[in-house]
């Protein structure tokens, strides 16, 4: 009996060590892409320099968690002359910092009827989609495809036709058109279709688990996952998680960096790099 107990303890110890080594590799391993984003971040314009270029932006998905944080980043820093929010309903925003906001209410099932909402923007932010942990949506593949693929791709198409030069697209870690998981597969298909549109610049963000502090979290699975990942986020901050504020800041900051590629993909580590406070 004692021998069995020691054996189990030994196996657990080995597993813990292997997990630690894997997380350390994710955290501290370096790639050419990481060096590229380090240099890009260093060469970014200051907020004042970017503001002087008098650009406008639109956003689809402003009422979602990531969209809310992006909007706060944009309005606090006053980077764009106007920010057009394209959504199902109008949202009330109070405060002087929201004076640059323009709202366009659209029917996502008939977006072609609202093509004007996508015209004449320099930069577009698309962060529309269901959360991977939202089983009510992700278990319903037709609904998932409609929101995460159809609405997103049509928005990108109208943005390109309307003259948008730089599209900033929120995707997901492990997104691939060849993935076996429906969520990752749909995200990968969207990426490929966005690339085919030929934007002057396309920035695709592939975050890992987005850490959100929801005071009213009712999903037990998401609550447990957040608690389980808290120590990982503390000791290995870039390995498997990203704070939502860091993600939002990164998606805004990328607009201030010089273009080097027509299509650029930011993985979780690059997002942490780009999301460093300016």
d(CA 57, CA 84): 6
> 123 - beta bridge partners?
57, 166
10 Å Cβ neighbour count for 116? 10
DSSP 45-88: PPHHHHHTT--EEEEE-TTSHHHHHHHHHHHHHT-SSEEEEEES
Catalytic residue among 151, 160, 183, 226: 183
d(CA 83, CA 119): 12
Structure tokens that stand for 70 in this block: 């992006």
119 is catalytic: no
261 is catalytic: no
Catalytic residue among 151, 160, 185, 187: 187
163: left (phi over 0), alpha (psi -120 to 50) or beta: left
Structure tokens that stand for 132 in this block: 């991977």
Catalytic site positions:
183, 187
């Amino acid at each position: 009996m004692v021998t069995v107990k020691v054996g189990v303890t030994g196996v657990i110890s080995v597993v813990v060590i292997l997990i630690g080594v894997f997380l350390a590799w994710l955290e501290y391993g370096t790639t050419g892409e990481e060096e590229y984003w380090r240099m890009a971040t260093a060469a970014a314009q200051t907020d004042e320099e970017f503001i002087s270029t008098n650009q406008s932006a639109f956003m689809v998905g402003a009422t979602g968690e990531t969209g809310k944080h992006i909007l706060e980043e944009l309005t606090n820093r006053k980077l764009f002359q106007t920010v057009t929010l394209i959504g199902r309903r109008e949202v009330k925003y109070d405060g002087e910092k929201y004076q640059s906001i323009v709202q366009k209410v659209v029917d996502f099932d008939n977006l072609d009827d609202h093509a004007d909402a996508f015209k004449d923007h320099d930069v577009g932010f698309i962060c529309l989609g269901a959360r991977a942990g939202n089983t009510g949506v992700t278990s319903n593949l037709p609904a998932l495809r409609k929101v995460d693929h159809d609405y997103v791709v049509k928005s990108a198409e109208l943005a390109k036709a309307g003259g948008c030069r730089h599209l900033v697209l929120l995707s997901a870690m492990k997104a691939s058109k060849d993935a076996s998981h429906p969520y990752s597969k749909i995200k990968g298909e969207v990426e490929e279709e966005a690339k085919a549109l030929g934007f002057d610049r396309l920035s695709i963000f592939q975050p890992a688990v987005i850490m959100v502090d929801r005071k009213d979290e009712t999903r037990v699975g998401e609550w447990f996952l957040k608690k389980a990942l808290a120590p990982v986020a503390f000791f290995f901050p870039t390995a498997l998680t990203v704070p939502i504020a860091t993600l939002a800041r990164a998606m805004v900051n990328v607009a201030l960096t010089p273009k080097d590629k027509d299509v650029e993909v930011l993985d979780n580590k690059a997002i942490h790099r780009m999301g460093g406070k300016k």
